[in-house]
Structure formats: structure tokens, C-alpha cells
Structure 1
């Protein structure tokens, strides 16, 4: 402990500045990284007065051939050129072409390396991976395009390049003009569980199929001010950016099928029974989900196979895509809700294999998502919100999403049970996929370019919705501590990396941006500023196409906070947070009173350890003990004796002090200089918990700008009323610090366990099933397992 003379505290604060390493400005602006603002996209992050975007309206017919598992489509597209540019040709997306054997996706597909197999405890390629490659090379997938014609029926020249198609216009399309053309097409539907993908069919043991159909028609590619035509090839990871428009779609399916679709059903009298229509009417005002098709009715339909067809007619306004699902296996439930002034039907479609999970949770999860997302963005604007259980694990389209989790059947008892992970996985994936209606189905970011703008932002809002579901939801994406293992690794690329080049897709595009936004909300801005700015972003860019710069600038503009350092560190680098508490020096204020100060010095001297020599010599006879006359003044007084000279000097000093200095002396404050180092490179606020001698704990929150002069080392002064006995940086793990072992003074041991028994490889499994497992009698000591009996 050191006594601190008045005036020294201020000098200590600048010590780290004087000793600063070569300057690295972590707080420089992003001007060299962000595009120059203008009349289309302003410096505030809002759409400018010259903002524009294209539009595409669709009229289509689709026929599902259940026996051949194929789809035939025809229709017309009306393309509106709202850009200031004249266009000589148009680009369309043919994403189903990913299933052509010679596609770039197939040719560039790779298997995990040998090192990766061994790291996972294996010595070869998994069967599923080999089957996927084999089946993919033998599956005749992709679009068969024919009859591309203009509005007058004349053929149009077109060129297919992988997953993109260019249509050459006979006359350039001028700004403000529109053009219509028609197409016919056909393709084979992939078996999703074999070939993967964002749509496909699933076959069941009862000889029925369930179809989830998306990417099923040639879709207009986006054309916008920042990128021009977005015609980057689809390789499977980078999703889609599309234009808004109105859809008028007729879907012909076997007459015993139920169809779930983007949009509103236009002909319920032709495709639904009177009972189903009445149940739908009741569902609109119901307080809980109403079954439109019951499980018994669905099971009855599974036993037959219609030879006739029905055509379901749907319309959707101002959407960027269209998807549907069809099966005779569907159970269907629905409940009407309001989102602001808008009437919405929340609906779930699922086979009996989805129960008892789906009937209990799916529609509730849809409603919960709309309630929570609307709170942080805007009212849900569409008339329906749908969750479908099928082969696709989780995928979103306007008004409809495909979600996978199901219970499992016990092979011995036949009982349907589900694990905790399955239950919360189902609720979580529905929240996530329905939430995608907001980001990016309405806030229409370019997913082909920046996955994080839809997946990361959506995962963040998903975490807020999950927190509002129940208190003890296990922490998932969005909590800073959950991203720590990833940020410790070397296998990273910055968040601002193109979608097809991400090394760890889930961590990079989902979890890290979600965690970053959590840190921004909870630690840097606070909830009030963050929520206002985030809602402003959503309102500004709904039904428009924002870029990363628009998001960054809006969050700064609406919060009134310079966040360039935050975007740079979290989104443009792979730096991590690792703040180390390197040292602490305690100071108390010197009173200058010799009676106090010399007593303090004597006490410090007495606290010093006694040397081994002095310990062993203790009690030995000394000469002065035998000859007391040898003792004088210095044997009775030591260096800590107070003299009259000391007292006179003190009186003179006190007489010259100003009132504030006299008050500081009386208060008896304790001063601590704490040394912090930034080992991870990512600057962050300091959140310092001080534990005082009385047991009281106080939190000091210091903005990240504390690092602005010295981004690697800083020294911070803390002043307390009583002695500090402990100090912890980031006590609540809110900054994603990758090494908490160096966060405390005194240092704290890291807890762990030594395992005596073999690892339980089934940990975290199906607790519901295990709880009801028959209890086995305990074995006697040394008793061996019996050999299995032959069956």
C-alpha cells in the first residue's frame, strides 16, 4: 500500500499515455470502408429522396405430379423498371439448377478432410455424405425451361448460365417503363432428406409423401443501386435477394391434399369442406388454436389415394417470394390474432408424426413471434403466418416457413417422447423462421451478399423472443458467453465476408452478429437507446433493401452515438475481447499529521516478515542486556518517533491548505490504480466490480473510449470509501471475454472436475424417455453383466 500525496492522483492517470506503445487508432472512422452516401442512401442511414427499387408481379399455375414427384409450371412476369437506368436484358434466378449434376455447387462440393474425420473420432467418410454425393450425381434435377415469349407470344432469346438466366429484350427497357413475358418450365422434385436443400419431398412408411415446394419458378434477380444485377451464382449457402411484387398463383394437387401457401386462399368453397370452412371462421376469434383438419381426419386420408385433382388459388400482395406445401397427411390448426390494426391467421400444418409436440407448441410459437418481433420493429403486415412440419429443418418464405423437429418413437414401447433439446429446438426454429418474415422478407437485405444481415439480425431478435417465452430457456445464440468458444479459435473470417466464403456458417453469420448486437444493447448503448434505433432501422427499411452501411449509419444516427469503433472491431476483424487485470496499487491519502503518518509507517514496518536469521536469534543474550548503561536516547526512540519539528511543519501545512483539500483529508478516501491490458485486440467497455471490506459490491461502467489513447494498456483510478478486497472485470460475462482467468484480483482458480468414471456419451438425451425407463435392480459388488440372450 502506498500513501498518495494530494495532487498525485491526476498525474497517475496520464502515466499510461506517456508510456503508450505505437499508436493504433481503434476509434478511427469507417469512411474508407463504407460507400459514399448520396441522394439514394443518405449519410444518416435512411433512404434518400432519390431512393428507388424494382418491382416484379407474377401470374402462375403449378401442377404437382405426386406419382412422378415433379412440378410443371407456367406463367407470366411483369417487370417494372423503376431505376434511372435503361436495361437491355433481364436476369432471373434458376436456383433449382443447383441439382443439375454439372452444377457448380455439385462440382465444388467437398467432403471433410481426413484431419476433420479424426478430430471427430472417426476414420472415414460418413455414409450420409457419400450417399448425398452419389444420389446428387444421379438425380436429374434442375429447370427444364421452354417457351420464353413476350406479351405478344413472340419467342425471346435467353441464355442460361448455371443458376442464372438472361433474357435479351428486343427493345431496351427505359426508366419508368415495364415489360411482360411468359415462361413454361418443368423440374423433378428432390428427396430432401437425401439431397438436402431448402425444399423437397419426404416419403413416409405409409406410402405417402409430404411436399415442401420453394424456389420452384424462375424468379427475377434483384437490380439495385449498390450492386447492379445481383447475379452471383447460387452455391447453396448464400440465399436470395428478390424484388417485391404481387402474386396470383393457382396450384393443382391431388384432391385429397391440403395445401399451405404464401398468400390468402381465394376459393375456399372449391377446395375446403363446409366443416373446414366453419372451423376456420371460428378460429379467427378463438382464444387458442382450433383444429381445421383433425388427426383422425388426416389419418383417414392417408389410407386412400385420390385419382382426381383440385386447384387451390392464392393471392399475395407486396411479397418478394412464394412457397407452398402439400400433403394428404396434414393436420391443420389455426388461430386468429391482431398485430396492430392487422388481422392475421396463425396456422400450423403437420403430419401425425409431429404430435404431440406440434399441436401443443407450433401455433403458439407463431403468435408469440409476431407479438415479440412487432414490439422491436413494426406490426406484422400480412394476413397469414404459417409453420409447416416437413423434411426441411428450418427455412423461411413470405408468410410460410418449413420446420423440422419431431418426437421420436421408442422402439420397444412405441411411446412418443421428445428430448428437451427437441422441444426447445422446435419452438426456437419456429420463432426464427417466422421471424424471418421481418428480416429479410420485409426488411429486404441482400442475402446472397451478406448472410449476417438477415440471419444475424434475426437470431438477435429471436433471442429476445425466447427470453420472453419462459425464464429458464437455456442460453442460445445471442448471449455473449455462447460465442466465446468460437472467438477463441483461429478458424474465423470477419462477419463482413461474402455468404459463400464463410468458414463456420452458423457461428459467423448467426451467433457472432447476434452476440455483437446483444453487447451493443446491454453494455454499450443501453436498452432504451438501442431499441429506439433498432426500431427506426426496421421502420426506415421495411419493404426496401438496406445494406450494411444503412444499418450501421441508422444505429448511430438514431442512438446519437459514434459506433464506428464497434462496427470495425466486431464486423470487420476477427479480434476478440480479452481484457486482463494486470496489477493493482492501493493508495490512501496522506494526512501529513506526523502522529498519524509515523504510526502508519510503523505498522507497515511491523507487517514485514521477520527474517529467518532474526527468528533463530530470538532470545539470545545481547551485550546491552548485560550492560544496561550502554542504552541511550536511540534505544528508546526509533525512526517513527514524532518530533516537535514534525508537529510544527504539520501546523504550517494545514494552515496553507484550501477548504477542498481539508475536506479530502477528513474523508479518508482509498485510491486504487488498476492496470488493464487489451490482449484480444477488440476494444470494449470496462465493467469493473469492486468488492469492499464490508462485503458491499459496486459496479463501475467505463465506456470503451477509455482505450482511445492507448488501445493495448490503460491504468484507471478508482476511489472508494473503504478498502477494496477484490476486483473483477466483466463479472457477468457480458462482453464475450475469451479468457476470464485473468479478469480478477486476487486471481481466482478455474473450477474443473477429475473424472473417475467413463464419459457418459448419452448425456443431454431424451429425459422424458429416460425418466420412465424401468428401474433396474442394483448389482452386487463385482457382479458382471450377463451375456445378451439370443432372440
Structure 2
């Protein structure tokens, strides 16, 4: 029943409700903990990294320049290399030794990565529980048991040729310096090495094509690379176990890559000798591509297919140069089709190459979408962070699934069926992975976070930017990241199987949801619900600009987002990044109050309606048929004043009392009396534990609706249960929490008041038997339309 109160009492009642809401209803609440500052959990600001989240006056980065000569031995699937490294000590410390990464040592039989894989013995045999799928990300991609893997160091010498003492510890190599390297000094040394290339395992390697006997090579973490030395970790020399990626420093590269003379090579940086490695026709197409707004084929499919069948007659060396990059990778194959366009991405007069390298197995998808997706990614990310500073961005078709990123070049999955058809999800997956991997040029190739320690700082931020770029590619793009509801199944997981986002990369459980999906959803919630797009976009761009070509930590990100926006987000970082609790808001009850207007025409009519409703029992309904047979009905002498009295009739005395009441009210009280006549007290519980804004939709009896929003700070005095009064001029018939799926609430059944029945689960009867693979829609149309020719057009465009 509606609860009614006088307007003068209402003021005190509302104040009382607010005071009660601030008092904890249980001694176990943790509201103050949740909304206290994160400061004690963050590293103390220094002159290297300030409290605002920006680099400090003493911030430094060491640098390493590389001059590398490498040969790809296609016959034996081997890399043979020699490098000269110039290492610059920009730190304030004297260094007695330096550390290099030998990432290929992860494939040694006794590596920590291999020995730490879990395994079980059962009646059916031994099975491995892989923490990271190193050896079999692609069907058939196994390590050759006849070969030894890992980087073999054949020489280590100083600038004069004198041997240097070194110690190899797993994937790390410590080089002893003849004398300590003082601040401001540099050291030149040389390394010779070789290793056997593994089949492609998701980051690097080769893919073998039995049909034509050729291989596509995707070569990365292939040379001894300097570890990072900084103010946070000193030397970052954590072992490479496969899951935690790479922590690197910037430098300038000159790399001479010798391959079979029929191979096409794409690499980090700009090729310095196109005149020597391209045919006349290819050079002419390159010139045409430099002025094109759509991709032009430098190497056509017909040429690539012809190269598959021919035998190499010698070797060819491609020379690449890249400045201010943190790594170098390359791809090489005689199977490659190559298309490109050089466009003014940002409208500032500077043109950037967008390129793709792919074999015919990737067509027709790759020739239609890859290079255009590359250019789109540069534009979308650049508008949200900073303009892409490098001269080229490359997408290579590496495998059917997944992808991997390096400066200016990425190895990407996505492949149609052998007949050239593909599903819509296959197409979206390919475009999505290209956007994601090319986007990694911004995070972490330029905003150079420590991937060995914090996967989310590059994967999470990049997945969020990918989600925004996908929406700009196609409004209806089926994005896998970003939308809060997509993280709900993960948030509902058994807490014992969850780790905070702020977990070291090699120790994360449920790696993808933790490091990609949850951070992306969290950032989208910040942008759409907590901060708003304007404040978020400004702060996010400020972070990217502050830390471009530098190495930020999580604290630098957290502090910059608050510093540039003026929004206290410590409660958010605590809940989403340091905790594993889910969001589960429960709309327990709604009490409805209306103001007693004291207008007799209104109040007595309401009282009559309520009295009649109370009296309308089943007995009264059934007795109505015999009401004229009662004593009073049949004998008028049994009637008196009260049989004729109507307690709900409006009298002159009632009207006079109402006039006196109105004259006693202030102007503001009269406005309140005439404006909102419905007051609702909402009782909400925070069942999940993670405090979030309260968003409630009100559906009115006239068919309209309205949404009320309250910040997360509404929970700051009691994180378990709160009350909130909402006043409306119209009657609310339905209340719904989180109506637009903004906060990743894991239980929507308790979001409505009155409770609403959930939609039924649908099921289908089926006959027992094996399920055949369903054809994709393109294949289903083959009976009426010819299928797309694999590889599409081979002519120049």
C-alpha cells in the first residue's frame, strides 16, 4: 500500500533517510577501505617518476644500436647471424656487466619453461597441461626431435676482437665488462650465433605447406638483445617462460638479411636497396603504390604461384634500416603476394606505407581487407594517442589463428576455407587480429611497458583501443573485447581460478580474460560510465603522449589518468585491477511514498478507493447477491445517522482547513507540493563486493521512462547495503538496475523490482549421431552462385 506523509514531515523524513544511509548497517563493512587512497600500494614517487604519473627530471633510458648480418638457411631451416652492438649507459649507475636475452633457449629440452610444464599420468597415457602452448599452436607444428634448439653463441668479443667472458643462464646471458661502464659511456661488442628455427608456435617460426613444399618464415626474438636496465627493476632479467612477453629498450638498427634469391622479405623499418632486390616491374608498381589510395600489388598472385614451383638459383640480401625501435623482426618467403599503398593517414602531408605480405592461402580475404585494415588502425589509434611516427606498418599472414606484434611488422592469422569461402566470424576475426597486432605498434612498441611483468599494460590497453577501432571500421562489428557483459562469464568464475589483473605475466590464470578482456572492459566502463568520454579521452591521450618512447609502470598509468582528468579513481583501480570480486547489485526493495496534500477533494477520494479495495473480499463479493435480505435493508427503523453518513464526503469544514493549510506554506513548499508527488526509497545490496555506480531505469505508468545515475561513491559509507530516495512526478511501474549493461553485473535476475520472469531457455530435439560441419553461408550459395576464386584477381591494381 502507498505510504503517505505530510509535506512538512517530508523534509525531516528525507534528511533522516540520508543520515541513516550513511551509517553502516553491519560491523563487517569495508567501505572506507575500498574508497581510501591507493597511495600506500603504489611505489613512492621519485625524481625518476613523479606523483603526477609523468617522467621525472632524472628519468633515464639506456639504448642499444645494432648492426646485424643474418642469413636464412631455407634448406635446413636455420638462422646464422652476426651483430655489432653499441650499448649506451644513460643511467646514473656504473655497470660491471650487462644482460642479454637469448629467447630461443626456451626451446632447449631442459629449459625452465619445458621443465615447469605440468603433466599427469593416467590409464590412457601421459598428458601435458601446458601453461603456454609453445610447440603446438598450429596443428602439426611440432619441434623436430632430431634437432637441437636454442641459440648457440659461437663468438663474443669486444671492439678490438678480444673475447669477452660470459655466462648463460637459461634465456639470459651475462656479459662481463673489462671495466665498469660509467654513466654517459658506451660499450661496443660483437656476437656471432645460430639456431634451428622451430615450426611457427604463435610468436615466431615457419609454416610448412606440403602441397608445394615451401615455407613461410616469420622470424622474431631471433638475435641476442639487450635487457632493460631502469629505475624500477635495475636489470629486468626474468627468464622467458613463454607467457610473459618481452621487455626491451630502444635503439637504431641496420640489418642485412640474406635469403634465397626468389624470396620476398618484409621487415621492421625501411628497405635501403629496393633497386637491387626488386624487378623492374615490381619497382614500377612500388612507385604507383606510393601515390595510390587503395592497395596496389607489388608482387601478384600469379608471380607468387610461379615462384612456388621454381627453384632458387642463388641468394639475395635485403638491407633494412630502422631508427628508435625496441625490436626487429622480419618475414621471408617465395610464396608471398605483396600489396601496399602510401597514404596521408592524418592529413598532415606526411605519407605512411601500409603493406601486407600473404600467400595465396589467405585469399580472397587478405587482398581485400588486410592493407586497408592496417591504414585504418594507424588512423584510429593515432587519433586517440599520437600520430604514428614510423614510415611503414606491415601485416603478414602467418597462420590460421592468432597473431604477434613487432615494431612496424606483425604476424597475423585469419584464413578462408580451401575453396575460398569464409564465414562472417572468420572475416571479422581476421580484421580484428590485424587491428590488434598493428595496434600494438602504439602499445607496447612505442609506449614501452614491461611485458615480462605486466601483460595487461599492453594487451589490455591495446584490446580496448582495438574495440574502438573496430566500431569505427563497422558499426555492427562483432567485437570480442570492450563491452562489459562479455566479461561476465569470467567474473562469475570460481574465485580460486581468478587472479587480479595486477598479477605478474607468468603467474596469470585464465590468461586471455584476465590480461585482455577484463582490462578492456574496465577501460570501456571508465570511458562510458565512470568518467565520461571527454575526460577519459583527454587523460588517455595524455598518458600515451607522456610515455611515448618511454617505459611506464602501472602506477604511471593510474596516476596520469587521475592527474589529467581530476577524477579520483583509486576505488576503481582497487576493485578492477587489484581484486577479483565481481559486480552484483541487488535491488532488494522499493518503498513508495506519496505526499499527503491535505486537499480534501484528493485525499478523501484516495481514502475511499483504498477502503473499497480493502472491503472487496471474496466473502463480500459472494454476499452481494443477498445484501437486500439483511435486517437493516428490510427494516428502515434499524437505520440511524451512521447508515446515512459518508465519511469520505468533502465538507465545508474540510475546505476551510485546507485553505488555512495552504496559507501556512512557504513558496518552496508549495512548489514541492505541486511538482513531485511520488517518493521512492530504494534498498540496494552490493552482493558481489565490487562497488560501482548505480544506474536505475524508471518505467512510468504512462509508457515513458527515465534513467537516474549515482556515482560509485554512493557506497563509500557502507559498501554492503544502501538506501536512496528518488522523487518523481509520475508513478513508477518498473525499476531496473544497469539497464544498458554498463557495469558487468553478473546476476541480472535481481536487477528488477518488481522481479521479472526470466526468458525461457530454448532447446532442440536431436537424433543421435555425429555432427557434420555446417557449410558457411558463402558455401551454401554455391549452387546458385560460383564461389569466389581463391586468391581473387592476380592482375595489378
Fold shared by both chains (TM-score > 0.5): yes
Report the secondary structure of 1:386's partner residue. Answer: strand
Structure 2: distance between partners of 1:665 and 1:762: 69
Kept in 2: contact 1:348–1:363 (CA 8 A) = yes
CA contact (8 A) 1:475 1:482 kept: no
Structure 1 residue corresponding to 2:87, chosen from 52, 62, 79: 79
Q: CA deviation at 1:761?
A: 5.9
For residue 737 of structure 1, the aligned residue among 745, 749, 753 is 745
Match of 1:302 among 302, 308, 313: 308
Question: What is aligned with 1:269?
Answer: 275
The CA deviation string for residues 288-345 of structure 1, in whole angstroms up to 9 with x for no partner, is: 1011011111111111121310111111000000000111111100000224443211
Kindly indicate whether the alpha-carbon contact (under 8 Å) linking 2:136 and 2:142 is maintained by their aligned counterparts in 1.
no
* Counterpart contact for 1:93–1:165, Cα < 8 Å: yes
Residue 788 of structure 1 is matched in structure 2 by none
- Does 2:18 match 1:13? yes
Please give the residue correspondences for 1:291-370 in structure 2 after superposition, counting only pairs within 5 Å.
Answer: 291-340=297-346, 341=348, 342-370=350-378
- Higher mean alpha-carbon deviation, 257-266 vs 13-22, is at 13-22
Alignment of 1:582-601 (within 5 A): 582-601=588-607
* Structure 1: tracts of 5 or more residues without a match: 118-124, 410-414, 776-791
Question: Any conservation in 1 of the 2:105–2:170 contact (CA below 8 Å)?
Answer: yes
Tell me if 1:4 matches 2:5.
yes
TM superposition shift of 1:223 = 0.9
Describe the SS at the equivalent of 1:428: helix
Distance in 2 of aligned mates of 1:151 and 1:528: 53
Matches within 5 A, 1:559-574: 559-574=565-580
The equivalent of 1:251 in structure 2 is: 257
Is 1:746 equivalent to 2:754 in the alignment?
yes
Shift of 1:27: 0.9
Contact 2:345 2:375 in 1 (8 A): no
1:353-400 Cα shifts (integer Å, max 9, x gaps): 111111101100000000100010011111110011123730000000
Aligned residue for 2:327, secondary structure, equals: coil
Higher alpha-carbon deviation: 106-115 or 40-49: 106-115
Local SS of the residue matching 2:560: helix
* Alignment partner of 1:198 out of 203, 207, 212: 203
Shift of 1:17: 2.7
Q: After superposition, give the CA deviation of every residue in 1:86-129 in whole Å (9 maximum; x if it has no partner).
A: 111111111100110111111112359989x9xxxxxxx9x969
The whole-number CA distance in structure 1 between the counterparts of 2:23 and 2:186 is 66
Whether the 8 Å contact between 1:101 and 1:136 is mirrored in structure 2 is no
Matched with 1:236 is: 242
The 1-side partners of 2:436 and 2:772 are apart by 27
CA distance in 1, matches of 2:473, 2:138: 40
Q: Identify if the C-alpha distance between structure 1 residues 43 and 668 changes in structure 2 by more than 3 Å, giving closer, same or farther.
A: closer
1:417-436 correspondence to structure 2 within 5 Å: 417-436=421-440
Distance 1:288 1:453, change over 3 A: same
1:1-400 aligned at under 5 Å gives the runs 1-6=2-7, 7=11, 8-18=13-23, 20-22=25-27, 23-24=29-30, 25=32, 26-110=34-118, 135=143, 139-192=147-200, 196-204=201-209, 205-340=211-346, 341=348, 342-391=350-399, 393-400=402-409
Alignment partners' CA distance in 2, 1:185 and 1:245? 20
**For 1:311 and 1:111, how far apart are their aligned partners in 2?**
45
C-alpha change, 1:36 and 1:150, in structure 2 (3 Å) is same
Is 1:579 aligned with 2:585?
Answer: yes
Q: CA deviation at 1:705?
A: 1.1
How big is the shift at 1:506? 0.7
Q: Alpha-carbon deviations, 1:507-564, whole Å to 9, x = none?
A: 0000000000000001111111111111111100000000001101111111111010
The change in CA–CA distance for 1:88 and 1:451 in structure 2 (over 3 A counts) is same
The answer as to whether partners of 2:150 and 2:196 remain within 8 angstroms in 1 is yes
| Contact 1:101/1:137, CA 8 A, preserved across alignment | no
How much has 1:611 moved relative to structure 2?
3.3
1:457 paired to 2:461: yes
Residue 669 of structure 2 is matched in structure 1 by 661
Structure 1 residues 114, 286: closer, same or farther in 2, change over 3 A? farther
| Pairing 1:602–2:608 present | yes
SS in 2 for 1:449: coil
2:130 corresponds to: none
Question: Is this contact kept in 2: 1:100–1:139, CA < 8 A?
Answer: no
Q: Larger deviation: 526-535 or 591-600? A: 591-600
CA contact (8 A) 2:394 2:409 kept: yes
State which drifts further: 32-41 or 609-618: 609-618
Distance in 2, Cα, partners of 1:765 & 1:28 = 56
In the alignment, what sits opposite 2:479?
475
CA deviation vs aligned residue, 1:118-153 (integer Å, no higher than 9, x gap): xxxxxxx9x969998984766411000121111111
CA spacing shift, 1:732–1:763, aligned 2, 3 Å? farther
User: Is the 8 Å Cα contact of residues 699 and 732 (structure 2) preserved in structure 1?
Assistant: yes
Q: 1:772 — aligned with what?
A: 782
Match of 2:489 in 1: 485
Question: Could you tell me how far apart the structure 2 residues matched to 1:466 and 1:130 are?
Answer: 26
CA contact (8 A) 1:98 1:106 kept: yes
1:101·1:138 contact (CA, 8 Å) conserved in 2?
no
Identify if the C-alpha distance between structure 1 residues 763 and 693 changes in structure 2 by more than 3 Å, giving closer, same or farther: farther
CA contact (8 A) 2:68 2:255 kept: yes
- Between the aligned partners of 1:708 and 1:603, the Cα distance in structure 2 is 42
Q: Structure 1 residue 207: deviation in Å?
A: 0.9
Q: Distance in 1 between matches of 2:138 and 2:265?
A: 34
Given the alignment, which residue of 504, 507, 515 partners 1:509?
515
Query: Would you say how many aligned residue pairs link Structure 1 and Structure 2?
Result: 758
Write the distance in 1 (CA, Å) between the matches of 2:712 and 2:676.
30
Q: 1:723 to 1:762 in 2, by over 3 A?
A: farther
1:420-443 Cα offsets, whole Å, 9 max, x none, are 121111110000000000000000
